[in-house]
Amino acid sequence: MSFQPLLDAPLAVQFHVATVVPAAILGAFIFLRPKGTAIHRLFGKIWVMLMVTTSVSTFFIHELRMFYGFSPIHLLSAFTIYGCLQSIYFARRGDIRRHMRIMQSVYLGGIVIAGGFTFVPGRIMHEVAFGDGRAGFVAFSAGALLFVFLFLTVLKQRRRAA
């Protein structure tokens, strides 16, 4: 593992990673904690701020130029921003079930799925985590699939309980 590829990356990529890593950790923490508490609301506000900042930062990253300098990740970023705004709206209206589903979708799409694609060989985060070796990628892929399976299982159980 070496941070050199990240240190050599453009400033926009470095900023993006600096906001998405705490968003991923804080988001997982929020999902595991009791809901509706003052700490949930405080951490939720911080998480939304991090997610929106992370999403906006993607518009300054143009490594995958598919359509006028943009890629499907930019579309996902727009959906993430919209989802965060919608979730706040529904939480304030008292529609907590909708708020919860949107936030789960934002985390799954904006952190888990988008984050998974950053570890594909040839991407900066793959080089940071695994260097040039491909064996680590196989282990990571298996671990990521297990994580997604467990994450979806927990979400399914929580939806039943809600």
Tokens of 84: 């965060």
How many angstroms separate the CA atoms of 49 and 158, rounded?
A: 25
Dihedral over Cα of 120, 121, 123, 129: its sign: positive
Q: What is the pLDDT of residue 52?
A: 98
**pLDDT tens digits, one per residue of 5-59:** 888 899 999 999 999 999 999 999 998 888 999 999 999 999 999 999 999 999 9
The CA angle 133-117-44, to the nearest 5 degrees, is: 125
Tell me the two tokens of residue 61: 């990253």
What are 69-105's pLDDT values in tens digits? 677 888 899 999 999 999 999 999 999 999 999 999 9
Domain boundaries, the chain: 4-161
Q: C-alpha distances in angstroms, 88 versus 21, 28, 41?
A: 22, 18, 10
